[in-house]
Structure formats: C-alpha cells, structure tokens
C-alpha cells in the first residue's frame, strides 16, 4: 500500500540538509507543521509552515518541555487509516492525519561530551521527540518516520518515484531504524545515570553502539562483520589511519589487545607486538630503538604478519627498522615526515596514529547465544599488601621492578600463561595451554630458540598457581632465578621447598590473572 503524504510534522535540533526535503514537500503540496526554532528556520528559508501551537490551539509551556505532547498531534499520527471507528473519532474531533514525521533529538550526546553539569545534561534529555518517533514507528503502515538526515535522499527518491507517496517496505525500514534510535538514545541516558551513580552492574543492561563501518568479513571470509562505536562520541574511533588497506576484523581485534597492553606500560618507551590477540613480544627501554628491537627479538617468527604498538613517536631510524619485517599494522604516538615516506612504501601496511587515544572502557563483554558476560577489566598488577616472598632468598629493588613488568604482561596472555622476562623484555611466552606445564615448556622453547643467553637468571611469571611441582622444576632447570605466582595450591609448600633447594627466589602475589 503506497501512502499519499498530505501533512508533515518537522521538529529538528539538527537542521542541516533540510532544504532538499522542503523543496520536495512543496512540489507535492505537503503541508508542514513545526515549532520553535525549526518553525522559524523553515519560514526564514521562504517555505510555508504552520506553527504547532496554532495548529493545536495549545501554547507550548514549561520552557518548551510540553509542545508536541498533544492529542491532536498523537491522534493524527497513531490512528489506523483503515479502521472505521478511528476514522469516525478523528472526524468528530476534526483532527487531520499526520503522514510524515521528521525528527531528531536534543543533542544529549554532545552535551555529555561538553559538560559535567547534571542539570544541563538532564535538560537535554528529549521527551517529545522520542515520543513522536515511537508513535510514528509503531504506525508505520500509515506513517513515514525519518530520524536521520542520511535518509533524506531515500525519502526524496520514494516521493519522486511514487509521485508524492511512499511504499510500505520503505516505511517499515524507516520504522526499524527509528526504534533502533530510541533504544540507542535511552541506552545512552541509562548508562549515563549508571555511571553517575557508580552502578556497574544494573538490573537491566543495554549496550549502545553506532555502526562505524561494515568490514569485508569477520575472523574468516565466510563470516560477516561490522565495527560499532560504544561511546558518546560515536562518529569516529579514537585513532587515525594514515595509510594502508582497510582494517579487518582480526586487525581490530589485535589492535585493541595491543592498546590494552600499551596503556599499562607507562614508565619508559614501550613496544608491544601482537599476533592473534596474544603478545609475542613486549619490551620497555629508555631508548625507543632498543625497545623495538627487544620486543621483536622475543619471537621474530610469530611477529611475522603481526601488529606493533608503540607509545613513542616514529622517526626515520625506527621506520627503517620496522620496514625490515612484514607487518599488518604499525601504531604509534605520531610519525615524522621521513618515517611516513619510508613506511608508506609498503602499500598494504596500515599506519595508525594513536596520539589521541586514551583507554576509557573499564569493562569487558563477551556475548554468547542469548546471554552475555560483563566484568571489570583486570586493572590490578601487584597488590603490595598481599605480596609475599616465600623463599629464603629475597629479591632486590631492581628485581621487584622486573617482577612487576613480568606479572603485568602475564595479565594479557591467554591462560594458562607463563611469561619469561629479562631486563624488561619478554624472552619467551607460553599461552593458551590447558596444561600449565605445557605453557612452561613452550615459553622455554621460545626463549632457547631466540634468546638462549638470556634464560639464565631470567624471571618467570605465572598467571595462576602451579598445581604441581613439575612446572617449577622445568623453569628452574632452564635457568630461571625468580618465579612469580599467585600461590594458593594445596602443594604450595612442596613447591616452596623445591625453590629453596634450587636457591631461587619465589614471590606469591595473592592475585590471579586468568585471561580467557
């Protein structure tokens, strides 16, 4: 059923691009009703328009809080044009049909970004707009609802194609978009209140997101995928791509894993290399070039085709070092002119400027079939109150700093995780094994292959306790001199005895760092 549009209600906070719509509505003799700033704007552009208060016979009140909330408006939208009873009621009241609604909301998002004043934020929670949208969207069989200026061209095309009418399919698509918007808007408001009141896990949780880009595919070519922005600033990501192919699902997944680790490296120049969301090399150094080389030396084979994230600016010398290897993505706190010339010679390399990136999200979410899990992010590295040296030999101040570095990296490695470090650089990482002993063996195997001279006197961090002494024996035999683990196994004493026997140092952190 194609619907002839006779009357339109226009109420817009964002009036951009409205001229094209007004021209088309005039062409098909559509009468326009509007109020406030929108009414003045339409009149200023030279188009006929009836002021809403004149149309309803009711002057807006409460500083504009009540203007579209009127029976003549909502009956005009909600009545069923095919229902005789509805038609008779509308006729008795002398209420015309309203066939087209053009609405966007008070700029709640914009205000949240620009002020911390609860009064100003609450004043910008739109009531009339979402009510109009929900009414029109419910009655899509009879009413067109447009909530996004990006849909103006489609509306114009519909009217031109159907000579002032719209198709049912178009109206239903616009209705779906409209309900998506009201849900998104309400979710942002609910989340603002939850944040204000420090309610981390409310009874009902709505996750809002705006589609940023459809991706070529998901983890594999047969899977579809898109990336969404879950932030009040939902128009752009907090980093900038300067060069290279479009980012893929796997690229984004690895990049966010790298940025999480990078945000935890704050003391020196830090470099993180990620492959399949696991770190394969992490280093801190006073010199960026040493940091880069040390991270890469941890596991150069795994680093092939990986992602590098740096918390420093890339210069010519660093760019030449980076360009020696095949990478998917390089992220850094800026690039000088010469470095960009060098890196851009690799046409497919994605170059990402993260100068303005700041980690905001304090929760992580995993979705399943009909349910999802939410938790706080693992922000603790060492709880110094729980830190306990359980061996006769004690670590010195420098070793404690190395211990903290190793434990921090173990947080980001898939469990079971074993991380070997020497001089603030990983030298072997065992990740994602069902057996902790296997993770120990893999970490040692990596270290022996790429950093054999650094295994002696190295530090080993385990994300959880050792259930048996075998893993500890394996690490000691390889040359590890300090082991950090949470403790808590029923065999802790047996493990401590083994450490004392081998004259190594062992620290119990009291904090587990599973990462599934």
Range 13-36 average pLDDT: 88
The radius of gyration of the chain's CA atoms, rounded to the nearest angstrom, is 30
Distance separating alpha carbons of residues 86 and 182, to the nearest angstrom:
27
Domain 239-353 matches domain 388-508 at the CATH topology level? yes
* Whole-number pLDDT of residue 450: 96
243 vs 93, residue with greater confidence: 243
In the 3-class helix/strand/coil scheme, how is 368-423 assigned residue by residue? CCCCEEEEECCCCCCCCCCCEECCCCCCCHHHHHHHHHHHHHHCCCCCCCEEEECC
The three-state secondary structure class of 494 is helix
Residue 8 contacts residue 18 (beta carbons within 8 Å): no
Q: Which pairs count as long-range contacts for 378-386, CB under 8 Å and 24+ apart, including other chains? A: 378/411, 378/513, 378/515, 380/511, 381/264, 381/407, 381/408, 381/411, 381/511, 382/407, 382/509, 382/511, 383/509, 383/510, 383/511, 386/508, 386/509, 386/510, 386/511
pLDDT tens-place string over residues 484-497 = 999 999 999 999 99
Distance separating alpha carbons of residues 47 and 39, to the nearest angstrom:
10
- CATH fourth-level superfamily of 3-196: Methylglyoxal synthase-like domain (3.40.50.1380)
* Whole-number pLDDT of residue 214: 95
pLDDT band, residue 118 (cuts 50/70/90): confident
Whether the per-residue pLDDT at 140 is higher than 70: the answer is yes
* Whole-number pLDDT of residue 67: 66
* Whole-number pLDDT of residue 454: 96
Phi, psi of 86 (to 5 degrees): -60, -45
Whether the per-residue pLDDT at 234 is higher than 70: the answer is yes
pLDDT tens-place string over residues 160-193 = 999 888 999 999 999 999 999 999 999 999 999 9
Whether the per-residue pLDDT at 65 is higher than 70: the answer is no
Q: Which residues contact 261 (CB under 8 A, 6 or more apart)?
A: 272, 274, 279, 282, 309, 409, 412
* Whole-number pLDDT of residue 61: 61
Range 307-321 average pLDDT: 96
Range 472-486 average pLDDT: 96
Range 56-69 average pLDDT: 69
Q: Answer whether the bond into residue 382 is a cis peptide, omega within 30°.
A: no
95 vs 352, residue with greater confidence: 352
- Mean pLDDT over all residues of the chain? 91
67 vs 173, residue with greater confidence: 173
Degrees (nearest 5) of the Cα angle 80, 84, 90?
65
Distance separating alpha carbons of residues 405 and 63, to the nearest angstrom:
57
Distance separating alpha carbons of residues 81 and 74, to the nearest angstrom:
14
Whether the per-residue pLDDT at 1 is higher than 70: the answer is no
| Least confident piece of the model among 80-84, 392-396, 398-402 | 80-84
If one looks up domain 239-353 in CATH, what number appears? 3.40.140.20
Distance separating alpha carbons of residues 298 and 283, to the nearest angstrom:
9
* Whole-number pLDDT of residue 439: 96
pLDDT band, residue 147 (cuts 50/70/90): very high
Dmax (CA) for the chain in angstroms is 97
* Whole-number pLDDT of residue 401: 93
Residue 170 contacts residue 100 (beta carbons within 8 Å): no
Percent of the chain with pLDDT over 90: 66
Q: Is the dihedral of CA 234, 239, 241, 246 positive or negative?
A: negative
pLDDT band, residue 53 (cuts 50/70/90): confident
CATH of 388-508, one of 3.40.140.20, 3.40.50.2000, 3.40.50.800, 3.30.70.20: 3.40.140.20
Distance separating alpha carbons of residues 34 and 358, to the nearest angstrom:
42
pLDDT tens-place string over residues 493-515 = 999 999 999 999 999 999 999 99
| Least confident piece of the model among 108-117, 280-289, 435-444 | 108-117
* Whole-number pLDDT of residue 429: 97
Q: Where are the domains of the chain?
A: 3-196, 239-353, 388-508
pLDDT band, residue 3 (cuts 50/70/90): confident
> Which class for 356: exposed (0-12), middle (13-18), buried (19 or more C-beta within 10 A)?
exposed
Range 67-92 average pLDDT: 81
Give the residue numbers annotated as catalytic, written as ranges: 138, 276
- Reported residue count of the chain is 516
Whether the per-residue pLDDT at 142 is higher than 80: the answer is yes
- Burial pattern 26-52, b for ≥16 Cβ within 10 A else e, equals eeeebbbbbbbebbebbeeeebebeeb
* Whole-number pLDDT of residue 63: 65
């Amino acid at each position: 059923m194609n619907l002839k549009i006779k009357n339109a209600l226009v109420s817009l906070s964002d009036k951009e691009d409205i001229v094209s719509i007004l021209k088309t509505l005039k062409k098909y003799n559509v009468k326009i009703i509007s109020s406030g700033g929108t009414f003045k704007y339409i009149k200023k552009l030279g188009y006929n328009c009836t002021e809403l208060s004149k149309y309803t016979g009711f002057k807006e009140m409460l500083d504009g809080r009540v203007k579209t909330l009127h029976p003549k408006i909502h009956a005009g939208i909600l009545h069923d044009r095919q229902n005789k009873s509805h038609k008779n009621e509308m006729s008795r009241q002398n209420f015309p049909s309203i066939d087209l609604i053009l609405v966007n909301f008070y700029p709640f998002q914009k205000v949240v970004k620009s002020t911390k004043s609860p009064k100003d934020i609450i004043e910008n929670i739109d009531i009339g707009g979402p009510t109009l949208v929900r009414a029109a969207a419910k009655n899509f069989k009879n009413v067109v609802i447009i909530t996004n200026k990006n849909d103006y061209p489609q509306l114009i095309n519909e009217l031109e194609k159907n000579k002032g009418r719209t198709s049912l399919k178009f109206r239903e698509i616009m209705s779906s978009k409209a309900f998506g918007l009201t849900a998104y808007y309400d979710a942002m408001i609910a989340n603002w209140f939850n944040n204000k009141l420090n309610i981390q896990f409310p009874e009902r949780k709505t996750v809002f997101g705006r589609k940023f880009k459809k991706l070529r595919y998901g983890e594999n070519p047969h899977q579809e995928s898109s990336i969404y922005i879950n932030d009040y600033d939902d128009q752009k990501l907090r980093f900038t791509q300067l060069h290279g192919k479009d980012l893929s699902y796997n690229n984004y997944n690895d990049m966010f894993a790298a940025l999480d680790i990078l945000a935890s490296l704050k003391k020196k120049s830090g470099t993180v290399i990620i492959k399949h969301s696991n770190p394969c090399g992490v280093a801190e150094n006073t010199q960026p070039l040493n940091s880069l080389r040390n991270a890469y030396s941890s596991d150069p084979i795994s680093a092939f085709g990986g992602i590098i994230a740096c918390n420093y600016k890339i210069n010519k010398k660093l760019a030449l070092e980076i360009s020696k290897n095949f990478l998917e993505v390089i992220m850094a706190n800026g690039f000088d002119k010469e470095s960009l010339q060098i890196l851009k010679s690799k046409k497919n390399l994605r170059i990402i400027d993260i100068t303005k990136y700041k980690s905001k999200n304090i929760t992580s979410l995993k979705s399943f079939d009909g349910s999802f899990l939410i938790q706080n992010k693992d922000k603790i590295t060492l709880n110094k109150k729980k830190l306990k040296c359980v061996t006769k030999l004690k670590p010195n101040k420098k070793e404690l700093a190395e211990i903290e570095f190793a434990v921090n990296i173990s947080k980001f490695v898939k469990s079971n995780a074993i991380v070997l470090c020497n001089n603030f650089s990983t030298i072997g990482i065992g990740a994602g094994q069902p057996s902790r002993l296997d993770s120990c063996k893999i970490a040692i195997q990596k270290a022996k292959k790429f950093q054999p001279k650094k295994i002696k006197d190295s530090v080993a961090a385990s994300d959880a306790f050792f259930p048996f002494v075998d893993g500890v024996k394996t690490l000691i035999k390889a040359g590890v001199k300090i082991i950090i683990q949470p403790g808590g196994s029923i065999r802790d004493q047996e493990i401590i005895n083994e450490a004392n026997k081998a004259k190594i140092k062992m620290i119990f952190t009291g904090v587990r760092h599973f990462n599934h």
